[in-house]
Structure 1
């Protein structure tokens, strides 16, 4: 009777003991695992590894727009390398430039010198001087009325329609006409005051001359 009761009580008791032992074993395993130094070292390596990997990554910086542009060479050096030096010229001392307006009779030789340089030079010097003198006389008669009777075929009116005062011829030069080689054209620069009193120098005129027999005659 007592043997049967002890056997019946031993079954549940054994089951409970087995459960307690299983729980205790799991707890011991957990405690032993947590107490293992290698486990702590592995855990510490896992925790430390992540920031170490991040810290070892190379830093990437984006340069500012001003730093990314290549430096430009200085303007002064660039200009000196690409531009040729300025060359200054001056008029020759013999009178290559015309004087300013209103310079007066003292400047007329400069005007004459400029006209000599521009002349064709296709006449003998003696012929050129003779024809220049003739053209000056014709033009003086044209603008002042004095001496028109010398060339009645050239002047149809005995008196000019416009009379200039303070008249002077500044310069003159003669040359053959390229389109009419037998004709000579004398170009003049003159000064004078019109009937309203306005005085101007640097006025221009031209007289055409043709040879009739031994003499030269002005024609229009």
Structure 2
């Protein structure tokens, strides 16, 4: 029969003393060293409420900023300033104003009128096929039957202007338009640029369209 050895009283006393020292050390740890408590939902809610209560930006300042940007605009700014798609005829005035702001006038009134008349007719001929015979240099196959890319129904030029293109003998007509393609999809706010060169024919200045590449 095997018996376990008797425990020494001195060992028990030393163990008890060590446990007492450890307990005192733990009680003496300052609260500042304890890990921070996790952020509660009430704290998050308070932060969100503070952000929501911040005063909005001054509307007049925002409007002035938009106006300044549009005055020194580029085609990308023009697109951002256009009214929403589907606005219809009611939005055409805003489209024209945006176009004028994007490209300030720099041509004589007579030249601009001639370019706008030619540009509108050329765009209609290109999109719908109507009147292509008037532009044999632009549409060399105008004597052949060609299915138009867009239907004449609902085709509409929403806005247009004519401006110089680097020199007094070159010009570009900017057009914004709407139309229904062969698949029956109607899309507005399409942007097309048509380029012209100035020449003198029979003593009169004439703007000739350049073939589209």
Q: Name the TM-score class by shorter chain.
A: 0.5 to 0.7
Superposition RMSD in Å:
3.0
Q: Matches of 2:93 and 2:104 in 1, distance apart? A: 19
TM-score under structure 2 length normalisation: 0.59
Matched, 1:100 2:88: no
Determine the structure 2 residue equivalent to 1:8: none
Matched, 1:138 2:122: yes
What are the residue-to-residue correspondences of 1:40-189 with 2, within 5 Å? 63-65=30-32, 86-87=56-57, 88=59, 89-90=62-63, 97-158=81-142, 159-165=145-151, 166-178=154-166, 180-189=167-176
| Structure with greater Cα Rg | 1
Deviations 1:91-131 (A, max 9, x none): 67xxx942110111111111010000011422123322321
Matched, 1:216 2:171: no
> For structure 2, which runs of at least 5 residues remain unmatched after alignment?
1-27, 37-42, 68-79
Q: Matches of 2:138 and 2:83 in 1, distance apart? A: 33
Please report how far the alpha carbon of residue 174 of structure 1 lies from its aligned counterpart in structure 2 after TM superposition: 1.1
Matched, 1:192 2:179: yes
How many residue pairs get aligned? The number is 148
> For structure 1, which runs of at least 5 residues remain unmatched after alignment?
1-60
